[in-house]
Amino acid sequence: MAHPIEFYFDFSSPYGYLAGEKINALAAKQGRTVNWRPILLGAVFKVNGQKPLTMIPMKDSYAVRDIVRSARFMGLPIKMPSKFPINGIAPTRAFYWLNERNATQAQQFALACFRALFVDDQDISKPEVVAAVAKTLGIAEGEILDAMNSEAVKDTTRKAVDAAIAAGVFGSPYVVVDGEPFWGADRLDQVARWMEKGPW
């Protein structure tokens, strides 16, 4: 069995959403599983001085156009959120709490959060919205709200994000296959080829 691939993403990243919709099926075709690892781009940007695409003059309006066009090109629904970007810390904490219990359910939860934000315009920066999303997967709202407030979960999250930055993760989506990094939903074709045939 080949090693799992690593899938880093920020919950506020539209290209992360696009990759999230495709990555598991892409990996499964090559007999691989995927480790989902949410990060916080805000923490990355403090290190490298970057800004969200939609806050860069000239790129801002193009970015929205490209996001919507790329989603349709990939056959995925999208509606740009009325509040964007959002802070992904609440769903990120909820994810890492869930992930220790049930990694499959944690991935379903992450995808449900992405869809809540990028299809249904729900503000997943709010813990109560995150809990409502979790409820649709049968997770008790009280329990996940407590988890998002837990010091232990906050600490786990901080360590996971720090470890990603230390590993060089600077964007979303960011996929690592056998040590080889690929940044962007537009690199999924290269990810597929790398899994299938290795280096070229």
What is the closest distance, in whole angstroms, from the C-beta atom of residue 29 to its own copies in the complex?
A: 18
- The nearer residue to its own copies, 6 or 124, going by C-beta atoms, is 6
Kindly give, in sequence order, each residue whose CB lies less than 8 Å from that of residue 81, ignoring residues fewer than 6 positions away.
117, 118, 121, 123
What is the closest distance, in whole angstroms, from the C-beta atom of residue 119 to its own copies in the complex?
A: 18
What is the closest distance, in whole angstroms, from the C-beta atom of residue 49 to its own copies in the complex?
A: 7
Provide the H-helix boundaries in the chain. Answer: 14-29, 41-48, 59-73, 89-101, 103-118, 127-135, 141-149, 151-166, 188-197
User: HEC string of 23-50?
Assistant: HHHHHHHCCCCEEEEECCHHHHHHHHCC
Q: Are 163 and 131 contacting, i.e. CB atoms less than 8 angstroms apart?
A: no
- The nearer residue to its own copies, 154 or 187, going by C-beta atoms, is 187
- The nearer residue to its own copies, 140 or 163, going by C-beta atoms, is 163
**Which residues of the chain form contacts with its own copies (CB under 8 A)?**
44, 47-50, 56-59, 61-62, 65-66, 69-70, 72-73, 165, 168, 170-171, 181-184, 186-187, 189-190, 193, 200
- The nearer residue to its own copies, 54 or 108, going by C-beta atoms, is 54
Q: How far is CA 16 from the centre of its chain?
A: 5
What is the closest distance, in whole angstroms, from the C-beta atom of residue 114 to its own copies in the complex?
A: 22
